Structure 1
Amino acid sequence: MSAVWLQVGQCGNQIGQEWWQIIANKRETNAPPFGSLDGKLSAICVDSEPKVVRRLQKQIGRKAFRESNLIVGKAGRGNNWAYGYYGSKGERDLFSQTMESLRKEVERKDCYCGTVLIHSLSGGTGAGLSSRLCEAIREEYPLGRILSVSVAPHQSGESSLQHYNTLLCLSWLQRFADGVLLFQNDEVLKRAASMQQKEGDDASGQVSFATMNSYIASCLAGLFHPLKIFTTRSGISLGQEPWELLRSVCPMPALKFLHAAQSGTRGTVLWDRLASSVAQPLPRESLSGNPHHSTALLAVARGPQEHSFLLNPDLVLRKLKQAYRCVPWNPFPATYWTDPSSGIASPFSCHHHTLTVCANHSSAADFLQRVAHGAHAMYESRAFLHWYQRHGCEEGHFEEAFETLRSVVEDYHHLGD
């Protein structure tokens, strides 16, 4: 009962819908660590438009969510970080309503440990409002952890302002979040297509947004669904999984961008093959040709044949440490968790064995560099700056964001030294 789940914007709530469907399928919506004593989910759903939140409420069930935690506006934020961050004076304040709902959820908990924030990096609400909420939560609850589940846009472009929005949001997350679980749409598309093909559901060859969101939610379930090792003697989960994840994969507080991937299989499982499947698409070199490294990684094996993993965990960990190039200076770079539960970590089919890997991997620096480069080219030509300035965003915000990302990229580049 330690976490509050905060979904912001269209993307955040669509992923949230897939996530809560996985939990609902296990009939655990009113059980710790996802619910309060009154049976309502410890979830706050926020969007500047009502459509997605209302659809989520209908899909999961009206009684699952607290009505006061469904916070919606009447108009979008124009894909503008500044508009999302500073808000509009002409309507009820989404930010104040969200913080009030968060306060009440925190007070309902026996032990509040932190907030899981689910959002995109490119939308006005997902990037701008999430940035402000992350900053305010850090100030209001300094002892609580903040884990951001962030979805990055396609490189080919989803919005003319996506570079600015992503730049500013990443800068805020670096300053105020404890960890950023980063999903890039281009990679999610490839991995979801691969899993869809394995399931024999590839008749059209196309991958829908719903399938991509399902893959992200599947990775979240693989990492955060309650494990027996974190339950009390009475069998109650305290919801420590997100915070134990951060403790395992963020040995250096300044390096907090995390990469997650998952693979699964039916029937008899060979865990080392799943490890190879997870690691195979991983980028091996940076944009400049230098090898990537990881500060630490966590592998979560789920399924009725977990005992076969426990017979020889070093085999799987050795393969993962080689594939992810764990740094030599970390004496314990790889951790593993196991659980006999199945059918919860993959919405693509049931009765799966799944291996979910989360790593603090330097390929994040490539993404940060691309974002900074695209935003800087626009910034130098003064493109669209007036759209941000009219909502209160100053040039100093951009300059600080560029410096923040540059510093993180440099730190990641020196991992292998």
Structure 2
Amino acid sequence: MRRHNPPKRLLLGCSPPQCNCRHRRPPKRYPFRSHDGKLSAVCVDSEPKVVRKLQKQIKRGEFRESNLIMGKQGRGNNWAYGYHGVRSESEQSLFSRTMESLRKEVERKDCYCGTVLFHSLSGGTGAGLSSRLCEAIREEYPLGHILSVSVAPHQAGESPLQHYNALLCLSWLQRYADGVLLFHNDEALKRAAAVAALQRKDVPEASGQVSLSAMNSYIASCLAGLLCPLKIFTTQSGVTMGMEPWQLLRTICPMPALKFLHAAQASTRGTVFWDSLASSVVQPLPRESLAGNPHRSTAVLAVARGPREDAFLISRSLVLRKLKQGYRCVSWNPFPATYWTDPTSLVVPGHHGHSLTVCANHSSSADLLQRVEQRARVMYKSNAFLHWYWRHGCNEGDFEQAFETLRSVLEDYSHLGD
């Protein structure tokens, strides 16, 4: 079984243009583009090898060449090195180049609504630079939303510094982001394995090995299910407004203290039974916290996509009931579960595929925070590897504030059922 290392590359996506001019309308299938048709995305990595793979997209006109930002050396899996950058004039700051590219993308918009930040939690670039960018974007564009899509490393360990990096990055996201959509490598591996098992029933000769590509495909499919354009957010003239990420934040995390989100998806290519898809989403959910307390959700959003939209509307009461029970929605929220629908299939475009993607403000996210806090504290008390952080500008106050921030979040999630 292949190990999955979350990409160090950062990808920032701005909100799409909101324009009713027909000659300036971006392609319908890809609304997150500028008026010239190029993707409104900035990709950055401290090493060139990953971003270079996107050079082919430049030739196809997908990316703007100035938005592929590469450094000359890595950040040593060190949050402090990624946050503070290279203290040398020989390499122009990745941070300043990224913010300049983001500024230009914002200025191309008719209306800037927010930024989606894709990154990992374990590496120096993914954790450190993303923290700096999240902080700067909040200060530079205070009225815009920030949705972080964060990939957490395997519990077994991918780097000896991953707990420090995740601790500091999660605390920064809690302070500056509006919502944090967490994907765990271990859970993505299990979900991708389940998808592969279903595929082997249809294709017996298919391999039983779960590849890195399959894990990435599952995460990308969840994001597409949640963030791709929906009919309900499209104008009568057919212009996609691109409000899906920001409506997601308003629906799932209206409380500033509780902003860590869990996403899962089930799909089928044949006859659809929406309640069965709901059961497939709910069944693998963790039921209890590390302390043995039942997990709960403040809010749940179900996004049903497929040509049989009417079938979902007929069975929506049953589906929402299953989701409310499976996610153990809190009693104090009178309307904890809602849904969006769209007649377009994302499973196999143009075919009769159906998908049910569920996003919830679920307390199981606190399990990751608790593991990170506990393991980082053990290392911190023994002074393990701290000299690497002091060397690059970090100090004890950064760690103490990070521990306090995560403890506060854990306390809030532990009282969901009160």
Structure 1 counterpart of 2:141, one-letter code: Y
**2:61 is matched with which residue: 46, 51, 63?**
63
Q: CA deviation at 1:204?
A: 3.8
Question: Counterpart in 2 of 1:22?
Answer: none
Residues 218 and 231 of structure 1: CA distance in aligned 2, closer, same or farther (over 3 Å): same
Question: Counterpart in 2 of 1:43?
Answer: 41
Q: CA deviation at 1:52?
A: 1.4
| Contact kept? 2:134, 2:173, Cα under 8 Å | yes
CA–CA distance in 1 between the matches of 2:243 and 2:267?
Answer: 24
Q: CA deviation at 1:293?
A: 0.4
| Contact kept? 1:222, 1:345, Cα under 8 Å | no
Q: Any gaps of 5 or more consecutive residues in structure 2?
A: 1-5, 14-25
CA–CA distance in 2 between the matches of 1:78 and 1:12?
Answer: 14
CA–CA distance in 2 between the matches of 1:415 and 1:162?
Answer: 28
Structure 2 counterpart of 1:383, one-letter code: A
Question: Counterpart in 1 of 2:388?
Answer: 387
Question: Counterpart in 2 of 1:212?
Answer: 215
Residues 12 and 73 of structure 1: CA distance in aligned 2, closer, same or farther (over 3 Å): closer
CA–CA distance in 1 between the matches of 2:313 and 2:399?
Answer: 49
Partner SS state of residue 199, structure 1: helix
CA–CA distance in 2 between the matches of 1:58 and 1:51?
Answer: 13
Alignment of 1:123-162 (within 5 A): 123-162=123-162
| Contact kept? 2:8, 2:45, Cα under 8 Å | no
Q: CA deviation at 1:365?
A: 1.1
2:121 aligned with 1:118? no
Q: CA deviation at 1:57?
A: 3.4
Question: Counterpart in 2 of 1:226?
Answer: 229
Q: CA deviation at 1:42?
A: 0.3
Partner SS state of residue 254, structure 1: coil
CA–CA distance in 2 between the matches of 1:374 and 1:352?
Answer: 43
Structure 1 counterpart of 2:65, one-letter code: E
CA–CA distance in 1 between the matches of 2:122 and 2:132?
Answer: 15
CA–CA distance in 1 between the matches of 2:53 and 2:344?
Answer: 29
Deviations 1:234-278 (A, max 9, x none): 111110000000111013111000000000012110000000000
Deviations 1:149-171 (A, max 9, x none): 00000000000000000000000
Residues 239 and 401 of structure 1: CA distance in aligned 2, closer, same or farther (over 3 Å): same
Alignment of 1:325-344 (within 5 A): 325-342=328-345, 344=346
Question: Counterpart in 2 of 1:103?
Answer: 103
Q: CA deviation at 1:89?
A: 2.5
Structure 2 counterpart of 1:79, one-letter code: N
| Contact kept? 1:302, 1:338, Cα under 8 Å | yes
CA–CA distance in 2 between the matches of 1:39 and 1:136?
Answer: 27
Q: CA deviation at 1:339?
A: 0.5
Question: Counterpart in 2 of 1:76?
Answer: 74
Is the deviation greater in 248-257 or in 158-167?
248-257
Q: CA deviation at 1:110?
A: 0.7
| Contact kept? 2:304, 2:355, Cα under 8 Å | yes
Question: Counterpart in 2 of 1:313?
Answer: 316
Is the deviation greater in 296-305 or in 54-63?
54-63
Q: CA deviation at 1:311?
A: 1.4
Residues 389 and 140 of structure 1: CA distance in aligned 2, closer, same or farther (over 3 Å): same
Question: Counterpart in 2 of 1:10?
Answer: 7
Partner SS state of residue 119, structure 1: strand
CA–CA distance in 1 between the matches of 2:360 and 2:151?
Answer: 16
Residues 212 and 375 of structure 1: CA distance in aligned 2, closer, same or farther (over 3 Å): same
Structure 2 counterpart of 1:134, one-letter code: C
| Contact kept? 2:152, 2:184, Cα under 8 Å | yes
The count of residues paired between Structure 1 and Structure 2 equals 396
CA–CA distance in 2 between the matches of 1:76 and 1:111?
Answer: 35
| Contact kept? 2:11, 2:41, Cα under 8 Å | no
TM-score by length of 1: 0.91
TM-score by length of 2: 0.91
| Contact kept? 2:12, 2:117, Cα under 8 Å | no
CA–CA distance in 2 between the matches of 1:110 and 1:396?
Answer: 41
**1:253 is matched with which residue: 242, 256, 262?**
256
| Contact kept? 1:53, 1:70, Cα under 8 Å | yes
Structure 2 counterpart of 1:143, one-letter code: L
CA–CA distance in 2 between the matches of 1:286 and 1:271?
Answer: 28
Q: CA deviation at 1:285?
A: 0.7
Q: CA deviation at 1:69?
A: 0.5
Name the % identity.
75
CA–CA distance in 2 between the matches of 1:57 and 1:35?
Answer: 18
Q: CA deviation at 1:320?
A: 0.3
CA–CA distance in 1 between the matches of 2:217 and 2:193?
Answer: 12
Structure 2 counterpart of 1:415, one-letter code: L
2:294 aligned with 1:291? yes
| Contact kept? 2:369, 2:410, Cα under 8 Å | yes
Question: Counterpart in 1 of 2:23?
Answer: none
Q: CA deviation at 1:222?
A: 0.2
CA–CA distance in 1 between the matches of 2:365 and 2:54?
Answer: 31
Residues 392 and 413 of structure 1: CA distance in aligned 2, closer, same or farther (over 3 Å): same
Partner SS state of residue 299, structure 2: strand
Residues 156 and 61 of structure 1: CA distance in aligned 2, closer, same or farther (over 3 Å): farther
Question: Counterpart in 1 of 2:399?
Answer: 398
